[in-house]
Amino acid sequence: MRTIAWAAISVLGFFAATSTESLAIDLYEIQIYTTDTTPRGRLQLELHSNTTTTATGHPAKSNLGPYQIRETLEATYGITEHIELGQYLATAKLDNGNYEYAGSRTKCHFGFGDPETWPVAVGGNVELDYMRRAAEDNPFSLELRPIVEKKYKRLWLVADFDFVKPFNGPGTHDGVTLEPSGLIGYELFNWVTPALEYYGDLGPVKSMNAAQEQQHFLFPTVNLYLVPRLEVNFGVGFGLTRASNGTIVKSIVGWTF
């Protein structure tokens, strides 16, 4: 545990050494990461569907890509009870009107502890993104995401702290951005949990962007567990700043084999 702690501090120190311009929230995977992982020896497939329906003003239009449709297929396999490996295949309908392959991603996601009995459960996600330049301004980047989760009776709380370092494109030599996210949910029944999800992009770690240059989204969502192996998430997001002045519709459908 001491070695892991020093490694995490070293990585964060490297990321924070410089600054960069703000990127945008991840429009290919609008999802809150929890400490749950795919059971050992099981395969889970998820389809992420995200569409920007409106964007008002030049900053929002340049960040959100209005009317673009993004479909991402995620395959995740449980390696142990606490660690899973995943692979993404991203596609999109881009500004040119063509529906194309947008790129791929590889992740290692882990979580420890029971959020109902532990003070908090903790986890993380390490992800390497290698996208097409036609689809992403920063096609090659690394993500480090610490996760904290707590459940108290029917109340559900999750906080993600996403640090993203681009290696190609704008900001390559500048550093890392902080893109926090989280949710507050309430289990109405064992098959439905409404939640309020938050996604943001605060800009450079060393020098945060001005408030209107940051991205802040609120997504009222509903999580459905209609059958044991099926998970459904649906929500509509609303931007709160000039750089995120728009509306996004998102859905996630997952099946565990």
| pLDDT (0 to 100) of residue 4 | 42
Convert the chain into a string of H (helix), E (strand) and C (coil). Answer: CHHHHHHHHHHHHHHCCCCCCCCCCCCCCCCCCCCCCCCECCEEEEEEEEEEEEECCHHHHHHHCCCCEEEEEEEEEECCCCEEEEEEEEEEECCCCCEEEEEEEEEEEEEECCCCCCCCEEEEEEEEEEECCCCCCCCEEEEEEEEEEEEECCEEEEEEEEEEEEEECCCCCCCCEEEEEEEEEECCECCEEEEEEEEEECEECCCCCCHHHCEEEEEEEEEECCCCCEEEEEEEEEECCHHHCEEEEEEEEEEEC
The more confidently predicted of residues 2 and 131 is 131
Residue 243 has pLDDT above 90, yes or no: yes
| pLDDT (0 to 100) of residue 117 | 96
Domain boundaries, the chain: 2-252
Mean pLDDT of 8-34: 63
CB atoms within 10 A of CB 114: 10
Q: Does domain 2-252 have CATH number 3.40.50.720?
A: no
Mean pLDDT of 213-225: 97
Q: Is 130 left (phi over 0), alpha (psi -120 to 50) or beta?
A: beta
- pLDDT band with cut points at 50, 70 and 90 for residue 172: low
- With beta carbons less than 8 A apart as the criterion, state whether 60 and 242 touch: yes
Mean pLDDT of 171-189: 89
pTM across the whole model? 0.89
Residues 22-54 have pLDDT tens digits of: 457 999 999 999 999 999 999 999 999 999 999
Mean pLDDT of 187-191: 95
Residues 192-206 have pLDDT tens digits of: 999 999 999 998 888
| pLDDT (0 to 100) of residue 174 | 67
